[in-house]
Amino acid sequence: MSTEFGAASSTDDVLGDINLSGKTVIVTGTSAGLGIETARALARRGARVLGGVRDLDKAYRATEAVRAAAMEGGGSFDLFTLDLASLSSVRNATDDLRGRLASVDLIIANAGVMACPQGVTADGFETQFGTNHLGHFVFVNRLCGLLADDARVVLLSSGAHRFSDVDLDDPGFARSDYHPFVAYGRSKTANVLHAVALDARLRGRGPRVAAVHPGVIQTELGRHMTPDLLAQIMPSGDQPAFTFKTTGQGAATSVWAGVVAGRAAVGGRYCEDCHVAELTDDPQSRTGVRGYALDALRAEALWTSSEQLVGESFDVA
């Protein structure tokens, strides 16, 4: 009988005594928070984990527990340089990985930025859309040739996708006022749409792709949260209050979708609290996924637009 997991489940609850020896996993953003916990839980169960980070020195200091877990569980953990706000860095990282890996069993696209001041990436894209979506769009798509037939890809989205659909006509706020959470919401909707489009391309060969919402966790992701910004998203009226998760609980849905859940059940879907989320367009709901985030035509339009923006086409099937 299968075990039911939920919002309070941790990575250790979800993974239990699963043995991941022989599995190769790539996790982005392993210098803090959810990325560290995700890497620790997988390496502890024997996986070979490669963590992509912007600052190798910072990451090495921050991941002592990951290396200890890997040693205890028979896995391994190595770092590589990856700046998702620079497509040159993304391409260098993927070229290196393709040159030294025979295959990959799981990619967890965990890194990201949230509610930052208006700015642009090294390539001139709005910071959040360029980092959270376009950086991972190029990174993951360039590695699809390495995916084993039973591999999975997990793209971290957020409940903040409910703040906004993508704007394909004005992705950089050139003709509209910038708002940090609207920009964040656009990028997180883009993560779900990327999962939808990529899953449609890969599932005929075997690999499946899911988007996940980790929950509300107090990590370095919130470094730009001013009191004013926090007030703007705090529950009001009859809305339920936020329930904060630990990092172990926050990373649980990533490893659940990547290792434990049924492949067909999560492929092309949006997951939260260790289950596939229900479709809802209720503006008061703090759970569930918006219809526009799972729209296949919207996903294809974003794919085409993203290829044009990054100047690279991807035949990933």
Catalytic residues, by residue number, are 184
Do residues 136 and 191 lie in contact, with contact meaning Cβ atoms separated by under 8 Å? Answer: yes
CA distances to 3, 70, 312 from 156, in Å: 23, 23, 23
What gap in Å lies between CA 158 and CA 271, rounded to an integer? Answer: 10
Q: CB-side exposure of 277: number of CA atoms within 13 Å?
A: 30
CA distances to 65, 112, 164, 224, 260 from 152, in Å: 25, 20, 27, 31, 11
Torsion of the alpha carbons at 163, 167, 173 and 176, rounded to the nearest 10: -80
- Beta sheet of 270-272, edge-to-edge order: 76-81, 48-53, 24-28, 104-109, 147-156, 208-213, 270-272, 275-276
